[in-house]
Chain A
């Protein structure tokens, strides 16, 4: 079983590192190349949100095994300004930064589980899971 990984997200090149590590872990877990791409894409969007809104944070990657099924866990956290209106941030096309506003809702669409915890001043944590079918 592959190990857990934690990637510091501080510069744009770290986004590339995070999604490449995620793809490697997804491949080692047994995901198809299509699912590997979806996982890499979700990590890319979430990691970019850290750079855009919080400047720095971390992406944690871990293999999952529970109740006879396997998958991948991705946790992205930062100590940035937080998201004042989560419902609005999850809406397609909504963005406050220089982006298309597809990052969060798009990542949610390509993953199986998606949880966003955030409040102004306390930072943001996104927890995503994808299960092997």
Chain B
């Protein structure tokens, strides 16, 4: 099942609606890399609020999405990690080192906005 990606100005918002298979996660990674280029996006928000589990594959793929976006000139932020999900990740020894996170969509967008201000026009 695909993840809808919404384009809002210079930001892409991927809003995960239901549990994703490994293939779905890889598809999301590819779709976002493609759309960042197509729409010249500067930011990507990945909303994982609907996910009840983030396992090692999901953590690795989110990391890959963030790194890929960065290499394509956009910044990514993962939002909506639920408390139990975060606790599970910690217990399992998973982290999202190097990936920006925010509590929810609103804070994620604010984070991207502040990065854009700091960085100026396309400068990093």
Interface residues of A (CB under 8 A from B): 12-13, 15-16, 19-20, 23, 33-34, 36-38, 40-41, 44-45, 48, 92, 99-100, 102-103, 105-107, 109-110
Asked whether B57 lies within 8 Å of A106 as measured between CB atoms, the reply is no
- The verdict on B17 contacting chain A, using a C-beta distance below 8 Å, is no
Do residues A13 and B21 form an inter-chain contact, with CB atoms below 8 A?
yes
Determine the distance from Cα of A41 to Cα of B52 in the docked complex, in whole angstroms. Answer: 9
**Residue from A12, A37, A45 in contact with B87 in the complex, judged by beta carbons closer than 8 Å:** A37
Partner of B21, one of A12, A36, A106, A110: A12
Residues of B within 8 A of A45 (CB): 55-56, 92
B22 touches A41 (CB 8 A): no
Across the two chains, which residue of chain B brings its CB closest to A14? Answer: B21
Would you list 11 pairs from A and B whose C-beta atoms are within 8 A, ordered by A residue?
Answer: A13-B23, A34-B84, A34-B87, A37-B85, A38-B91, A92-B93, A99-B57, A102-B56, A102-B94, A106-B93, A109-B91
Given known contacts A102-B92, A110-B92, is B55 in contact with A41 (CB within 8 Å)? yes
The reply to whether A37 and B88 contact each other, CB–CB distance below 8 Å, is yes
Verify A110–B91 contact, CB threshold 8 A.
Answer: yes
The SS class assigned to the A binding surface is helix
Instruction: Report the tally of A-B residue pairs with Cβ distances under 8 A.
Output: 71
**Besides A13-B21, A48-B56, A102-B94, 8 other CB < 8 A contacts?**
A15-B21, A37-B85, A41-B53, A45-B55, A99-B56, A100-B60, A106-B91, A110-B91
Measured CA separation A98–B22 after assembly (Å): 12
Residue of A12, A37, A92, A106 near B52 (CB, 8 A) is: A37
When distances are taken between beta carbons in the complex, the residues of chain B under 8 Å from A33 are 84
Q: Is the CB of A16 within 8 A of B91?
A: no
Q: Which residues of A contact B99 (CB under 8 A)?
A: none
Give min CB distance, A70 to chain B, whole Å: 21
Residue among A12, A23, A36, A41 having the largest count of chain B Cβ atoms under 10 Å = A41
Q: Indicate if the CB atoms of B53 and A106 lie closer than 8 Å.
A: no
Residue from B21, B56, B87 whose CB has the most chain A CB atoms within 10 Å? B56
B59 contacts partner chain A, Cβ-Cβ < 8 Å = yes
Contacts of A20 in B (CB 8 A): 19
